[in-house]
Structure 1
Amino acid sequence: METIIIGTGSSRFGMFVDTPARTLAAEAVAEALKDAGLEGKDVGLVLVGNAVGGVVTGQEMIRSQTILSQSLLVGRPMAAVENACASSSSAFYLAHLAIQSGMHDVVVVVGAEKMTSTDRTLATKALAAATDVSLRQEAAGDGGKPRPVFMEIYAANARNYMARSGATAEDFADVVAKNTRNGSLNPIAQVKVPLSREDVLNAREIVAPLTRPMCAGIGDGAAAIVLCSSGFARAKGKKGPKVRTSLLASAEIEDNHEIVSRTAAKAFEAAGISPEDVSLVELHDAAAPAEIMVPEELLLVAQGDGPSLIRSGASRIDGRLPINPSGGLTARGHPVGATGAAQIVELANQLRGRCGPRQVANPRIGLAENAGGSIFNGAAACMITLLEA
């Protein structure tokens, strides 16, 4: 039995201070169910990815029920999944397992996040809590303002990578320039104005070498995916990309940044394909250097060859290996609980030929890499999903 994606939907991503998560989720769910040609009553299980709701909105315990309280899925069996930035991709993993187990024919995954607030410190505090707080140094900087904990981590990783690979700040700026061009072609993207290399390099520095456009911003948004069994799809005449594999991993002690490469190797083995088979990638670029570093960890290029992807144009929409045609986290946006689902929505839409001016030519295999949190000197959680047209 195979798992098939038959419906996708998404709200706009952006800073919508006065719009609650339930409104964004209802929009994404309605679009996904319409795309699938199904009603709420057809859904056996709903899994909702949400990461920072407890800190930002104060809502705990019944996050799935509140987030979906205005949606077409009210009353369906549901549960919330929290796994830092990998929350909704982890929900997708569990949905895939639910279908493969034979327990359900139709499962809906929703990722939804509300990060903006009249209190601008809440999102930063919530993100800092995705580290081991018992070991963390004081998260407040000068004047008591929360420090950008993850950007400090990403900046340190980038500096180390620059020293060993020859990558430059110009390379990172070119990644942002590419992704903002992609975002300008994406109707849901938070950043829709293309930036040049110079715009990026001349912007305010956050933590060297990262300037503001190199860092994914705070935002709100929701994405939804309808999955079904291949038997249900045949019986109802539904078509869509199939899930070749979906793997969840957690950090090991002294993981030393190996979680992505370890998970990718297992994913390719489970899917029975090689890295050379991948047509396009949506990866977790919470900071722009990730788009150069992570392809090496995903075994898509040799160690040290990451910069060649942006320098040669290979990672452009019309390149050999398009990366983040959606605009990625830095342009499409990074409402953390929705990010993993949004990546898979983009892959599914690309594999169905639905992406208009940002459509990748003849894609067959799409890969999504979504990482979350920080522990043991690396990401706490990693999700790798491979889809086939």
Structure 2
Amino acid sequence: TGQEAIRGQVFLRDAGFEGIPIVNVEGACASGTIALREGMLAIAAGFYDVVLAVGAEKLYLDDTARSIEAMSTNTDVELMGGLGFQFTGSYAMTLRKYMKEYGWTQEHFAKVAAKNKYNGSLNPYAQYQKPMSVEEILSSRLISWPLTLYMCSTMADGAAAVIVCSKELADNISTKTPIVVAACCLRSGEVTGDDDGQRHVARDAYEMAALGPDDVEVAEVHDAMAPGEMLRIEKLGFCKAEELGRLVDEGYCTLTGKLPVNPSGGLAARGHPIGATGLAQIAELVWQMRGEAGPRQVKGRNSRYPTIGLAQNTGGYVEGSPAALTVTVLKTE
């Protein structure tokens, strides 16, 4: 829209927010999660008792080129600006590497996309609420091999918000099941060394939450291209890369699978309004853990609803690596 500064003050004004600190946070696709983390830290430090984290995005304009230009700044503009290189190309190159090394196939990617399209069809907040078959996804227009059109997220408008508060106030604010932020960890990308920042930030989160990947019962991961789900769950330690093709075939991450992933539909079905995506993930986990997810509700392993949820969210690219990496772990109280 051209509003490049004081966005929070402008957009929240009509909602009656004034006379309080409003902090603008920018971290590309990870902006919402970073805002949540800042709120959590402010409460933990004792500065505030209640913080509202808001993420919003407006990409549909009468000038599509303007929106694309804005999204292109989610990378190192000076380094990448003249190359005409898009995120789809980066995803595709990584996927081709995994296909060669671990036997992943384009059909596996289409199965993941179809799974998430189905989940999105059950989500009233999803951008795309139509299920699609593996065949429909494979036959859609090729974007950057092996990615086809219906494997990819598109431009989206949207917003999400999360209220965080001190434990002492939780019972006074809501009568619903309290959800605890057990960890909300952030790292910048690592373009030198082993380039494995995603594993490192996941390790940080597991250590902070005092649990491991086997304890997670439901997950929302950053899949701007649906096959990215496979990349994420391997980096998060849920399984090994060489197992993933078989696990996709077996329905490991479906709503009734061993580890339901992206019950919201993920970025390619629920939508990817960039600034809102991280908080939309958190909202989905809270709904799942409170039993409020309707027809896409997943079951807990030892209780009626999941008691531990994980959200993984990244933002931007620097030299081919994610610029901001986040992992958040939620627990029921």
TM-score relative to the length of structure 2: 0.94
Q: 1:264 aligns with which of 192, 202, 205?
A: 202
| CA drift at 1:114 | 0.4
Q: Does 1:295 align with 2:233?
A: yes
Structure 1: give runs of 5+ residues left out of the alignment.
1-56, 141-146
1:229-240 equivalences in 2 (<5 Å): 229-235=166-172, 238=175, 239-240=177-178
Q: 2:257 aligns with which of 301, 313, 319?
A: 319
Which residue is equivalent to 1:377?
Answer: 320
Supply the distance in 1 between the matched residues of 2:193 and 2:142 (Cα, whole angstroms). 30
- Contact persistence 1:190–1:331 (CA under 8 A): yes
* Secondary structure of the structure 1 residue equivalent to 2:192: coil
Which residue is equivalent to 1:212?
Answer: 149
- Contact persistence 1:257–1:379 (CA under 8 A): no
Supply the distance in 2 between the matched residues of 1:275 and 1:135 (Cα, whole angstroms). 36
Supply the distance in 2 between the matched residues of 1:252 and 1:310 (Cα, whole angstroms). 29
Q: 1:364 aligns with which of 297, 307, 328?
A: 307
Which residue is equivalent to 2:139?
Answer: 202
Structure 2: give runs of 5+ residues left out of the alignment.
300-304
| CA drift at 1:289 | 1.5
Q: Does 1:133 align with 2:77?
A: yes
Supply the distance in 2 between the matched residues of 1:236 and 1:113 (Cα, whole angstroms). 28
Supply the distance in 2 between the matched residues of 1:59 and 1:136 (Cα, whole angstroms). 24
Opposite residue 367 of structure 1, the aligned amino acid is L
Q: 2:219 aligns with which of 254, 257, 281?
A: 281
Opposite residue 112 of structure 2, the aligned amino acid is V
Opposite residue 329 of structure 1, the aligned amino acid is L
TM-score relative to the length of structure 1: 0.81
Q: 1:123 aligns with which of 67, 74, 77?
A: 67
Supply the distance in 1 between the matched residues of 2:144 and 2:57 (Cα, whole angstroms). 25
Supply the distance in 2 between the matched residues of 1:272 and 1:374 (Cα, whole angstroms). 30
1:28-43 equivalences in 2 (<5 Å): none
Opposite residue 175 of structure 1, the aligned amino acid is V
| CA drift at 1:235 | 5.0
Percent identical across equivalent pairs? 44
Supply the distance in 2 between the matched residues of 1:237 and 1:205 (Cα, whole angstroms). 47
Supply the distance in 1 between the matched residues of 2:216 and 2:88 (Cα, whole angstroms). 29
Which residue is equivalent to 2:13?
Answer: 69
1:67–1:191 Cα change, 3 Å = same
- Contact persistence 2:226–2:266 (CA under 8 A): no
Opposite residue 176 of structure 1, the aligned amino acid is A
Supply the distance in 2 between the matched residues of 1:370 and 1:250 (Cα, whole angstroms). 12
Supply the distance in 1 between the matched residues of 2:193 and 2:264 (Cα, whole angstroms). 30
Q: Does 1:306 align with 2:244?
A: yes
Q: Does 1:252 align with 2:196?
A: no
Q: Does 1:98 align with 2:42?
A: yes
Opposite residue 379 of structure 1, the aligned amino acid is P
Opposite residue 46 of structure 2, the aligned amino acid is G
- How many residue pairs get aligned? The number is 326
Aligned residues: CA RMSD = 1.5
Opposite residue 64 of structure 1, the aligned amino acid is G
Supply the distance in 2 between the matched residues of 1:257 and 1:307 (Cα, whole angstroms). 23
Name which of structure 1's ranges 257-266 and 303-312 shifts more when overlaid on structure 2. 303-312
Supply the distance in 2 between the matched residues of 1:317 and 1:311 (Cα, whole angstroms). 14
The superposition leaves residues 252-280 of structure 1 with CA deviations (integer Å, 9 ceiling, x where unpaired) of: 33255411111001110111001100001
- Contact persistence 1:255–1:377 (CA under 8 A): no
Supply the distance in 1 between the matched residues of 2:306 and 2:102 (Cα, whole angstroms). 30
- Contact persistence 1:285–1:329 (CA under 8 A): yes
| CA drift at 1:382 | 0.6
- Contact persistence 1:315–1:322 (CA under 8 A): yes
1:360–1:119 Cα change, 3 Å = same
